[in-house]
Every structure is written in C-alpha cells, then in structure tokens.
A and B are shown apart, each in its own frame.
Chain A
Amino acid sequence: MTNQQSQSFSFMAMILNLCGYFLLMEWLYPIDMLTDTSNISVFIYYLAISLLMSIFRMRNVLRWSIKIVYILYVLHYLYFRGSFFQFTWIDDFSKDIFINLTSVFQSDWSGLTESFRSLLFFVLLSLMTYLISYWLVNRKQIFLFFFMTLLYITVLDTFTPYNADQAIVRTMIAGFVVMSLLTLNRILEREGIRKYSGVSRRWITSLVVMLGFSIIIGFGLPKAEPIWPDPVPYITSYSEDSGNDGPGISKVGYGTDDSRLGGPFIGDNTRVYFTHTESRHYWKVETKDIYTGKGWETSAEKEQRIPFGTVDPIPASSFASPEMEFTERTSVVYPLVDYPHLIYPLGSQYVQTNQDYTFEYDSKLEKIYSFPSSGAALPNLDEYTVQYNSPRYSVKAMMQTVNHNHPSLDREFLEVYTQLPENLPQRVKDLALEITKEEATWFDKARAIEDYFDRPEYKYDQTNVAIPGEEDDYVDQFLFETMTGYCDNFSTSMVVLLRSLGIPAKWVKGYTEGEFRGTAESGKRLYEITNNNAHSWVEVYFPEVGWVPFEPTKGFSNNVQFNFDNYSTNQNSSANTPEQENNPEEETLQAEQQTTSSSNSPYSFQVLWDSIILFLSEAWKKILAASLILGMVLLGLYKIRLKWLPYFILFRFKRRRQDDDFPAAYLVLLTHLNRYGLRREDNQTLRDYAADVDEYFSSKEMGVLTSHYERYLYKGHLEKGSWDETKELWENLIKKTIA
C-alpha cells in the first residue's frame, strides 16, 4: 500500500513541479526581450535541469554538484577564455568574485561585472526553485506566486512591447492545474483518503475536462474590443507632462508629420516598395529644414510645386558643380502602396513611367508627387523608372571649405540651413565645439560628428525611447540624457550639432535600400522595402560639391562614394573610410551577416551540441569500448558485492567510536543482512528477526545488538558505551557474512 501511495505521490509531484517551473519560466521569457540580457536560454536550460532533477528526486548532493558544474561551465563559456578543464580560469573567476564582493560591500552596484551578475542571477534562480518546491511540497499553496506571475505578465503586456497573448494562456493553464492539484492534495491529506482512490481520479478527470472546456471556449468566443483605451499613452503623457497630443507608441513607417519626434515604435513588416537597382542606395522622399526643438517642420509657407513630365529633367539641383564625377544609372520602382509621393535616389534626373501620369516637384521639401495626367481616376502608379547620376564626391573639393566666407554661399540660404531654435541648450553647442575642436574643415567636422555617434554610450533602440517633455529639447535629451534612440534621434542630433557650428545641413527622410532579395536576369539587384526600412539621415552642404549625405545612425551605412585621391587621413578622422568604397554586393552580404549575427548569440547550445557531436563521431568506438568495459566491471563488482562490501562497511565504521554511530551501524547491518539473504519481513519485529539471525549463524550477537537498539529506538535512550561494548559483536556479524 505504501508503495502505491509513494508512486502516486511522485506522479502528482511531477505534474506539480512541471507546472511550477512553467510559471517560473514565464518570468524569464520577457527578460530577453525587454532588457539587454542575452543568452537567456542558459538560464532556461538551468531551470529545466533543476526541474528534471527534482522530478527524479535525485539526492541533494548530486543535484547540487550538477547545478554547480553547470553554472561554472556556463560562466566559463560566456566570460572566460581557454579550456574549461584547464582550471586556470578558476583563478581569474575567484579574483573576479572577490573584487565584486568588495564592490557589493561598497554598494557600488554599477561596478559589478557581467559574470558576477550572471552568477547572482543563477543564485536567485536556485532560490526561486527552492521556494517553489517549498510552496508546492510543504505549504501546498501557490496562489500568491501564480497571482504575481499573472500580474507581472499583464503589466509587461500593457506597458512594454512584450506580447503576452500566449504567455497568459500558458500561465492560466499551469496555474489552474497547480492550484487544483494542490487543493486535491490538501483535501486528501486532511481527510486521510488514500491516494489513487476514485476520488483523485474523478477530481483529475473533471479538472482536465473543465480546463479543456474553458480553454476552447476562451479561444472560440468572439472578443470585445477593450472598453478602455490603451492606458500607456495617457500615462506617458501625464508622466512626461507633455500635454494632450503626445505621440505614444507609433508604428514604424512613413509619415509626413515630424513636428513631434520621439517615443517608442513597433516594427511593421508591410511591404511598400519593390525595386530593381544597379547599386545600393538610400531612397529619398523629402527633406525638412526647420528644427523646432521637438521635431521638424518646413520653412515653406506654401507649396512651391513645379510640374514636369516624363521627358523633362527633374527641376532639382543637388550638386553644385557640374564637373563632378557621375555614373549614370537607372532604378525601377514598383510601389505596392498608393502614396502620392515617389521615392528617388540622390541625384535623380528623370522619372519615366508607361502609365499616364505627370509629376510635380516641391523644391522646398524636395518631394516628387505623381498625378494621373488627365485628372481622371486611374489605376495606381505601379511602376516607374528613375534615371540618376550616382555621384562620386571629391574629398579634395570638400576639404576646401573651412568657413562661411565662400562666394557661393548665399546669406538667405545659410540662414535657412543653419536655423536653430532660440532655446537650444548651450551644452549642445558646447558639445559640437568639443567634438570638432581639432578639425579644421567642414568635411572633417562633419565626419567627426558622424563618428561621435559610434561611441558605446549611444545605443540604437526602437522601444526604450523617450518623448521630450514640455521643457526638454529633443536633441539635448538624446545627446545628454537618454543616449538611446533610433534614426530620428541620431540624424536630428547631427543636423543640430552641425548647424550650431554654422555648417548648413538638412534632415532627409526616406527609406534605406531595403532587403536584398536576389538578382534579376538584367543583372539588377532586387530589393524589397518594408515600413521597417523607413529611415532618416543627414545631408550637409559643401559649396564646392553640393549636398552630401551622411549617416550618423548606429548600425546603418549609406553607400556614398568618396574620392579619397588627395586626402591624407587626418589623425582624428576615422580610419575606416575605405569601408565606404566597398563593393555594394559585399555590403549587402555584410548587412545580412549583421542581421544574422545579431540574433546569433556568442554562446549557444548549437555550438556546444555540434562540438559534442563531433567529439562523439570521432571517439564513439573508444567510448563504446570504455563504457562496455566499465559496465562489465561494475556488473562484476555488483555480482561479487558480498565479497567486498563487508570490508567496506567494516572500514566505514572502523574509526567511529561515538555512541551516536551505533544506530547507523545497526541499520547498515540490517540492510547488509537483507542483502546477504536473511530477509526481514516488514511486519517482523527486530527481536524476532534477531532470533532468526542468531539461529542461522548459531550466534548470540544479533540478540544482544538488537536489545541495545530496541532500547535506543523504543525507550529513546542509549546507554553510554553501547557502541564500544557491541562493536565487536557487530564486526563479528558482518564478518560472518563473508564466510
């Protein structure tokens, strides 16, 4: 009976543990997404290992040794070089721990190293696993934890981009199963009902049916839209004190209103264009020239549209000098969404389409609009070809510009493109001077500012981006406070920094080249542009050359070609300039590698798995032979255990002289006699059994030992010197089993 009971208990315990760990894992999933903790999988594996071990009820010693080895292995893999088994890293690790402990005592939290933080996190997880099993096994209560998990998930779902649709379902199922089984457990215990009786079967059946029913109903029923609006924008706007039309979370994509920048956005994979191009280049849509401190507006009071046809050149002039080096190229664009504007590369000359469309060019916004020429309703523009001059900027020419006293610089032009809001904080201007203090030419200054954003303090992030409050300046906030943002933050900041130095610059919006999708038969490359590719960058004016694009945003690169013939690399300007000369195809490759490597963590189980597989394939014969031999040896040892085990037992108790050791020794003797073949039935009393044993061996030892043990067990009292007195008898009995 007891056997069955323990079995059913362990099955129940397995389910309970499983669900408990599911709940715990729900706490881990969002961490990966919301913090910059990488390799979250190692922690999940850690939980899985702990779970398995507690299901199989391993001994504590074994359990903890496995856990510790795993933790050390992971820490080594993540943070240390060299082989795991060379143990030299242990030295580094212990030093590391010592240093970190010092930091802890000094409350220097930011001084903790990553390895120590990971170690602490492992410790936290161990505590949590212990707590959960304590709740499940001893307290038989989990509601608090379940509730906290739900709260955690729902809060994250509401206030962060974490999508908890599935997590909620998982949590509910796991939580209900745990709570119901625990209730069953409590009832069984209280009423003294034998487990595995009809009660628990009925209980579990009805639990499964109810859970299944409610899940199906929950999925199947239509869901009402939320009655309350999403609270997040309200809360952010209140907390930021930014009035009533705070932007909130926006979707990435192309919009025309840039008067209020900032705030997080979520990705959108909607395809908007499909292009065939000869080279990789950004696509412009429009530019803005007035920075308001919160965003961008245009200086044009009314639209200045110039109509042109498919045979007319675009009435735009991006380049100052006609002597520039160009490559004539064409790109074909297939719009997938009906926008009134076109996308075009820098240096566009002609726009052609077979459809009956005419175009207008807004010279202020540098924006091209398309219209059906007859004014009648026509099918959407679905294909057009842009012919453009791909420039190769002469660095030599650009280097000539050192100040505003260039004859071609118009005063009015300068005023527009060096415009800044009056309340721009002084520290922004100081920073611009600081960055460029060692640069003489405009080009070097622009490069210095562009490079400035490569610093590690600046992070590219689409979600954790602040909205400037009423008193804040968008650029100032990004440069000095948040240092986290996406293209708008980087490009706007660069424009503002440049303008504060008096260098004319404007803010350009459009799309990056998009995702490379293969090569067409014509040799052109196919790109797919989605809303995720919406982008903003900077154009800087050089009197000798014209507008030159710059890319301050981290992780992006514009394929701009510079002619470095006569440019000696300045000590401060970046040494990686030739990179910009790269073959476009390689660039694409690089870009793709970048995207894959960003998802590929430095440590992954795939790597570990591969190395294990490799090792196994090389050495499987040896391993097989070794394990066979080992198995045989173990089997042999097991077979002859009665020959050597008594010596081991004798050795084990040889040095023990305390009376407290007597009960243990007696129990060992019982087990050993049982192994020897003198079986004691469960219902047989020790005294009876001792009589049997003594009869078998024709001895008296067992009786004497047993009477001492009986006194210890049933009287709760062990006479002094019992073990000394009986040790010899005990040894005799053990020895008798050898004979």
Chain B
Amino acid sequence: MSRDSMNPTIERILKNIENVMIGKRKVAELSLVALLAEGHVLLEDVPGVGKTMMVRALAKSVSAQFRRIQFTPDLLPSDVTGVSIYNPKEMEFQFKPGPIMGNIILADEINRTSPKTQSALLEGMEESSVTIDGVTHILDKPFFVMATQNPIEYEGTYPLPEAQLDRFLLKMKMGYPSVEEEIEVLNSTQRMAPIDDLEPVIDLEELRDIQQEIKLVTVNDSIKRYIVEIANQSRTHESVYLGVSPRGSIALMKAAQAYAYIYRRDYVLPDDIQYLAPNVFAHRLILRSDAKFDGITADEVISEILTRVSVPVQRLVK
C-alpha cells in the first residue's frame, strides 16, 4: 500500500488536518474518501476524542462552510432545515435557513433526537435538497454530513434504523489515541495555533473538480465481480440475517475510486476493496441474534468473507 505516493493536494489537506489532530491519519483519510466520493460518514465514538476538531479542520482545508447540529431529544425538524418567519415590516414570510444549509455538517449524537428530526437530516443527505413549507431548497454542493453516534448510552436514544444506516457511505470509529499520541496532544494544546489559523488548501470549485475526476477512475470488470462476490457472500453468510444491498456494492465501488484517486491511481485495486470493505459494508449487515450472542461482530464477518473470496489475478475470460 505504501508504495503508492499520495496525491499532493490530498497530502496537503491531510497535513493541514494533522496540524490540529494528532495520530488520526486513517480517520482523516477515510473522511476524505467519503467527502470525495460524495458520501457521508457515521462516526461511532465516545465524546472528547476530537471529532469536531477534525471536521472543522477538514472544512477549513477545503474552504467549506462548516455547520454543527447538536441533536437533543427536543430538537424539531425545522431546527435542522430552517423555518419561514413572518416579517411584519416586509409583510411576507421570510425563509431563515437552518444549519443543514452548509457544506460540511457535523450532526452530533444523531441517535439522541427523535426519528422525525433524524429523517429531516437523512432526507437532505439522500436527496441533496430539503422541502420546507412546500418550497424545495437545493442544498449547496459539496454537501457532506458527518454524523456521530454515542455507542455507550442507550437510555433515551433512538438508534438509527437499518435503512437509514445504509445511507452512510462509511462508518468508522475514532478510538483513543496511543500514549505517545496523547502526550503529543497535550504538548500541542500548549503551543498549537488555534484552528482558526488554518489556511485553506483548495477552494470549493477545486473540490468539485476532484469529485468529477474520481468518477473517471477505472473499475475493471474483474474488480466489479470481486465486489459483487463479496456482497453476495455477505448475503449467504451463516451469521448474517440481512446482507449487503446493491447500494452497498455501489458504495464500495465509489469509495474505492476515491481511495485510488487519493493514491494517484486511475484504476482500482483489489487491495483498495479489501481495505475499505469493513468500513463500507459492516454497518449494512444485520447479524443473526445467535451470532450476536456468540459475540460475532459485523467486522469479523466481513474479514472472514474477505478470506474466502479469491482475488482476481487473471483476466476474465468470456
């Protein structure tokens, strides 16, 4: 993997993020994959590991407008999408856009709010538009949501249904930093320049161009077959109740294209697929209850499937 050098632009963005975030290169890289592949990310982690910091740094690096929504049980859909307010001076209703009208949105603790409010956000993610009072508002592009979910608290939460989870391109965990990293975090807090001092690397126009280029990355038929074979195996796996949908296969392909682009390749490798499959597929599986009882996780199932499916090493003969 290391042999491929990184795309210099991407390299700079990652460097930028690393200025404020220490030791989370993989998470930053995956977030970029999702951003470049026009997908969204679900972060499952405890508070205080630097999620906000990372998203803000990312937004700053691509000159995107950053918004944050803190989800609480009493949040209403209009608090997300915006609301029309009567302006007595102008004698008419005026639209006050909500926090969803940004480029990069941090949806914090999304499982704390009611399904109604959740779906307002999820609709925006899927359709790239929101409808308020019968008027459809097209969201700006790029539009990138990073939702976080606290896996510890279950009391008073509304876990996202499986159909909603399918809309996130990637799901990942941040995890605690290592001892050295954490010491470095402490050090840097003392001297580091505040995040406001970060310089943008590219502007939104350039970001949109990159997103277009990524669509041109070659995915060979043998690779497509490899993706589909993995997806198929997830459907027949003995621990799985519901396997990966075709939308999942599409997601894996898009993510792999973006990942290949990051590493300056114009074609996807099986290595890309193997690297991304756990993050793209795991949250789309529903395990059987007995498998869950045995302590089997979706990540384990995906890795097992990856050992079963042979990597294509010859051209397909038709």
Query: Residues on A close to B: CB < 8 A?
Result: 1-2, 663, 667, 670, 681-688, 703, 707, 710-711, 713-716
The answer to whether A713 and B315 touch (CB under 8 A), given A685-B269, A703-B3, is yes
CB under 8 Å from chain A, chain B span 262-318: 266-271, 274, 306-315
Cα–Cα, bound, A254→B1 (Å): 97
The residue that B311 contacts in the complex, of A685, A703, A711, A715, with Cβ under 8 A, is: A685
Q: How far is the CB of A694 from chain B (nearest CB, A)?
A: 10
Cα–Cα, bound, A459→B182 (Å): 109
- Asked if residues B271 and A670 are in contact (CB atoms below 8 Å), the reply is no
- Asked if residues A714 and B311 are in contact (CB atoms below 8 Å), the reply is no
Chain B residues, CB < 8 A from A685 = 269-271, 274, 311
Cα–Cα, bound, A684→B309 (Å): 10
B223 located at the interface, meaning its Cβ lies under 8 Å from any Cβ of chain A in the complex? yes
- Asked if residues B267 and A670 are in contact (CB atoms below 8 Å), the reply is no
Q: Interface extent on B, as a size class?
A: 20 to 34
Interface centre among B222, B313, B314 (most CB of A within 10 A): B313
Query: Residues on B close to A: CB < 8 A?
Result: 1, 3, 218, 220, 222-223, 266-271, 274, 306-315
Cα–Cα, bound, A469→B161 (Å): 92
Chain B residues, CB < 8 A from A682 = 309-311
The 10 A-B residue pairs whose C-beta atoms are closest, nearest first, are A682-B310, A715-B267, A685-B270, A714-B220, A685-B271, A714-B267, A683-B307, A685-B311, A687-B271, A715-B218
Q: How far is the CB of B226 from chain A (nearest CB, A)?
A: 10
Q: List 13 A-B contacts (CB under 8 A).
A: A670-B313, A682-B311, A683-B306, A683-B309, A684-B311, A685-B311, A687-B1, A687-B271, A710-B269, A713-B222, A713-B313, A714-B218, A714-B222
Q: Which residue of B lies closest to A2 (CB)?
A: B310
Interface centre among A663, A667, A715 (most CB of B within 10 A): A715
Q: Which residue of B lies closest to A663 (CB)?
A: B315
Cα–Cα, bound, A703→B271 (Å): 14
Cα–Cα, bound, A670→B220 (Å): 21
The residue that B268 contacts in the complex, of A667, A686, A687, A714, with Cβ under 8 A, is: A714
Q: Which residue of A lies closest to B233 (CB)?
A: A1
Q: How far is the CB of B196 from chain A (nearest CB, A)?
A: 41
Cα–Cα, bound, A502→B241 (Å): 105
Chain B residues, CB < 8 A from A681 = 307
Interface centre among A684, A688, A714 (most CB of B within 10 A): A714
Chain B residues, CB < 8 A from A670 = 313
Q: Which residue of A lies closest to B236 (CB)?
A: A194
Chain A residues, CB < 8 A from B267 = 710-711, 714-715
Chain A residues, CB < 8 A from B1 = 687
Cα–Cα, bound, A670→B313 (Å): 10
The answer to whether A716 and B271 touch (CB under 8 A), given A683-B311, A686-B311, is no
Q: Which residue of B lies closest to A681 (CB)?
A: B307
Cα–Cα, bound, A507→B307 (Å): 93
Q: How far is the CB of B22 from chain A (nearest CB, A)?
A: 28
- Asked if residues B218 and A667 are in contact (CB atoms below 8 Å), the reply is no
Q: How far is the CB of A26 from chain B (nearest CB, A)?
A: 35
Q: Which residue of A lies closest to B223 (CB)?
A: A714
- Asked if residues A713 and B312 are in contact (CB atoms below 8 Å), the reply is yes
Chain A residues, CB < 8 A from B307 = 681, 683
Chain A residues, CB < 8 A from B269 = 685, 687, 710, 714
Chain A residues, CB < 8 A from B310 = 2, 682-683
Q: How far is the CB of B311 from chain A (nearest CB, A)?
A: 5
Q: How far is the CB of B255 from chain A (nearest CB, A)?
A: 16
The residue that A715 contacts in the complex, of B220, B270, B308, B309, with Cβ under 8 A, is: B220
Cα–Cα, bound, A555→B300 (Å): 87
Cα–Cα, bound, A685→B307 (Å): 11
Chain B residues, CB < 8 A from A710 = 267, 269
Q: How far is the CB of B59 from chain A (nearest CB, A)?
A: 33
Q: How far is the CB of B134 from chain A (nearest CB, A)?
A: 46
Q: How far is the CB of A65 from chain B (nearest CB, A)?
A: 24
Q: Which residue of A lies closest to B268 (CB)?
A: A714
Q: How far is the CB of B222 from chain A (nearest CB, A)?
A: 7
Chain B residues, CB < 8 A from A707 = 3
Contacts A663-B315, A687-B271, A711-B267 supplied; 12 other A-B pairs, CB < 8 Å: A1-B308, A667-B313, A682-B310, A683-B308, A683-B309, A685-B270, A688-B271, A707-B3, A714-B218, A714-B269, A715-B267, A716-B218
